[in-house]
Amino acid sequence: MLDALVAELPQERAAAWAGDVRDAAALARAAAGFIARFGAPDVVVANAGVSRGTLTEHAGDATAFREVMDINVLGMVHTFAPFIAPMRAARRGALAGIASVAGFRGLPGAGAYSASKAAAITYLESLRLELAGSGIAVVTVCPGYVATPLTAGNPYPMPFLMSASRAAPKIARAIARRRRFYVLPWPMAIVGWLLRRLPRPLYDFAFARASRKPRRAD
Q: What percent of the chain is helix, strand and coil (3-state, nearest 5)?
A: 50, 15, 40
Residue 75 C-alpha from the chain's centroid: 9
How far apart (Å, rounded) are the C-alpha atoms in residues 183 and 192? 8
Cis peptide before 155 (omega within 30 of 0): no
DSSP 125-147: HHHHHHTTTTT-EEEEEEE--EE
Residue 108's alpha-carbon distances to 37, 126, 212, in angstroms, are 45, 27, 6
Q: At what angle do helices 61-69 and 111-130 cross, to 10 degrees?
A: 20
How far apart (Å, rounded) are the C-alpha atoms in residues 89 and 84? 9
Residue 109 C-alpha from the chain's centroid: 19
**Residue 123 annotated as catalytic:** no
Q: Report the run of H or E that residue 46 belongs to, with start and end.
A: strand 43-46
The residues annotated as belonging to the active site are 113
